[in-house]
Amino acid sequence: MENKQDFTQGSIFGKMVQFMVPILGALILQAMYGAVDLLIVGRFGTNAGISAVSTGSSIMNLVTFVLSALATGVTILLGRYLGEKRQDKIGKLIGGAVAFFLIFAAVLTAALILFARPIAILMQAPAEAVDLTVQYIRICGAGFLFVVFYNLISCIFRGLGNSRLPLLFVAIACVVNIVGDLLLVAVFHMNVAGAAIATIAAQAVSVVLSIVIILRSKLLTGFSVKDVRFGKEVGAFVKVGFPLALQELLTNASFLALCAFINRLGLDASNGYGIAQKIQSFVMLIPGSIMQCMASFVAQNVGAGKEERAKKGMLYGMAVGAGIGVVIAVLAFFKGDMLASVFSDNERDIARAFEYLRGFALEAIITCILFSFLGYFNGHSKSMFVMLQGLAQSFLIRLPMSYVMSIQPDASLTWIGLAAPTATIFGIILCLIYYWYMNTHELKMHGEAAND
């Protein structure tokens, strides 16, 4: 596995930036990949199509985030094995992951196709957008195998310290998706169906090309087809990844509930929130790249016994992320209408999107602090705490506050948007308490060991 990056020595800041920049690039392209569907449907499709893509992509994002969180267990264990110099376990871990996610993909494909309409109705999609939402979910569900392996391959390479190849894979997918959307929606006027087909075709092309690149370059030299089976390594990565996946499932379920709350306010609010969500996905790029980088960085250093280096990495992540977040927050708060106008020329949709972004803007700063903590905890395999704090945020703060604000007379999307940073502040408080507990507990155990 010569393509790994060693995070256990050298400049902390330099190593992190070198690894994080390709991750950030991949996330930017991923966000563009998701936004282009809404943008092109907004420009060349129907008004109901905007709501359908917004609601349908929320469902697909939920499933994809759960998948990515589960695959993070593979990323963390790969980093740990590299730090511990246990090369013999890497091939078995990758093979077990391939076997597991093949079954995972089959189950989710069947569920999305069979339950698309009940899901759309549960999401309270506006009446004029229900059939289009069902169409989007079913087409994306039919190609979910490609979504699964697109994400798994990227997680494997990030675990090996290689963030450049995932950037290449998402760049391929982004280009194919843009071309597909323009052809199917703008030229052939296939509306929502065209956007969904382009999305899955892009994932398929990326997966096929990434496999070709891997085989020709012999990048996974420690892995062979005989490793594709259910072994004890499957249980090991599921143990780490399952709490993260459960957190993503329940947290994103709360976001789906928020989408349903806003859908009840009418088509303008639904469209405005859908546009704001796409802008929100760009706002969260820096925090997301920091957390992914932090998990791999910390896992390697923990495996090598370099705890102080892991802590310094976390502090670097907080400082850099929050600094950049200030600029993004100011832009979202004062120029959110300009950002929203990229996706639609409907003044009502733009106004409702801007309304939501004013409440959400602070999230760009404080999430960098929270996600640095979470990456640090994930690198220590403390995924159970990460899950519990995420659920506490969602179900004690974000969801109740969003619901209460949504049922007010003349409900303001600004107050609904403010629920996100309020919940994040609560999460940071929980992380500070757990960080203190974890380090105090470890110091106590080390002191007892020294006395023995």
Whether the pLDDT of residue 161 is over 80: the answer is: no
Question: Strand, coil or helix: what is 126?
Answer: coil
The pLDDT confidence band at residue 445, using thresholds 50, 70 and 90, is low
pLDDT of residue 51: 84
**Is 5 inside a domain boundary?**
no
Is residue 69 included in any domain, yes or no?
A: yes
- Distance separating alpha carbons of residues 383 and 246, to the nearest angstrom: 10
Is 2 among the domain residues? no
DSSP symbol at 395: I
Range of the domain at 388: 12-443
- Three-state DSSP at 221 gives coil
How many H helices and E strands in the chain? Answer: 18, 0
Tell me how many domains the chain contains: 1
Q: What is the pLDDT of residues 415-429, one digit of tens each?
A: 999 999 999 999 999
Q: Quick one: what percent of the chain has pLDDT higher than 70?
A: 95
Identify whether 450 is part of a domain: no
Q: How many Å apart are CA 84 and CA 82, to the nearest integer? A: 5
The DSSP letter of residue 8 is S
pLDDT of residue 1: 42
**How many CA atoms within 13 Å lie on the side-chain side of 402?**
27
The DSSP H or E segment spanning 299 is helix 285-303
- Can you give the length of the chain in residues? 452
Given this model, what pLDDT does residue 451 score? 45
Integer angstrom CA distances of residue 331 from 280, 334, 353, 366:
12, 5, 14, 15
Give the mean model confidence (pLDDT) for residues 263-277: 85
On whether the CB atoms of residues 314 and 301 are closer than 8 A, the answer is: no
Residue 167 belongs to some domain of the structure: yes
**Is 146 inside any structural domain?**
yes
pLDDT of residue 5: 67
Residue 452 belongs to a domain: no
| Structure confidence by residue, pLDDT tens digits, 18-57 | 888 888 887 787 777 667 888 899 889 888 888 888 888 8
Query: What digits encode the pLDDT tens for the residues 80-114?
Result: 887 777 777 888 888 999 999 999 999 999 999 99
Q: Please spell the DSSP secondary structure of 153-191, one letter per residue.
A: HHHHHHHTT--HHHHHHHHHHHHHHHHHHIIIIIIT--H
Within a domain: residue 426? yes
Can you give the pLDDT at residue 57? 85
Q: Write down the pLDDT at residue 259.
A: 80
